[in-house]
Amino acid sequence: NAGVMQNPRHLVRRRGQEARLRCSPMKGHSHVYWYRQLPEEGLKFMVYLQKENIIDESGMPKERFSAEFPKEGPSILRIQQVVRGDSAAYFCASSPGPGIGGANVLTFGAGSRLTVL
């Protein structure tokens, strides 16, 4: 059981470039959550997805940020035209989904650290 896999672990981008962060949920999990952690702060909820569907994106910035969880492949958090304020750790978590045993238990990945120069 490989757990939640995130990559890259570290990503460096220059201002204006695009950042793509990937998350492969635990086997059997169909729901993915993305969180952002700024230095010295807690984790802030960004978006909650299931396969091919965004359930809740209330924490996503209105511009430049998007997320997807396609039928095949990992979930992608995409940040266009990055700015220095985007520098943070981005965590992904997965769960089996509502109505399934343990549905509310999130399993977290190790995070992806984005540095914007």
Partner 1 sequence: AQTVTQSQPEMSVQEAETVTLSCTYDTSESDYYLFWYKQPPSRQMILVIRQEAYKQQNATENRFSVNFQKAAKSFSLKISDSQLGDAAMYFCAYRNPWWDDMRFGAGTRLTVKP
Query: What radius of gyration do the chain's Cα atoms show?
Result: 14
Q: Quote the least distance from Cβ 2 to partner 1, whole Å.
A: 12
- Using the contact rule CB under 8 A, the part of the chain among 17-25, 38-46, 61-69, 70-78 near partner 1 is 38-46
CA pair distance 98, 17, nearest whole angstrom = 36
No. of helices (H) and no. of strands (E), the chain? 0, 11
* Among 24, 26, 82, 91, interactor with partner 1 by CB under 8 A: 91
30 is a contact residue toward partner 1 (CB under 8 A): no
Task: Identify the CA nearest to 4 among candidates 77, 74, 88.
Answer: 74
CA pair distance 37, 60, nearest whole angstrom = 13
- Using the contact rule CB under 8 A, the part of the chain among 11-19, 20-28, 67-75, 99-107 near partner 1 is 99-107
Nearer to partner 1, 12 or 80 (CB): 12
Nearer to partner 1, 59 or 78 (CB): 59
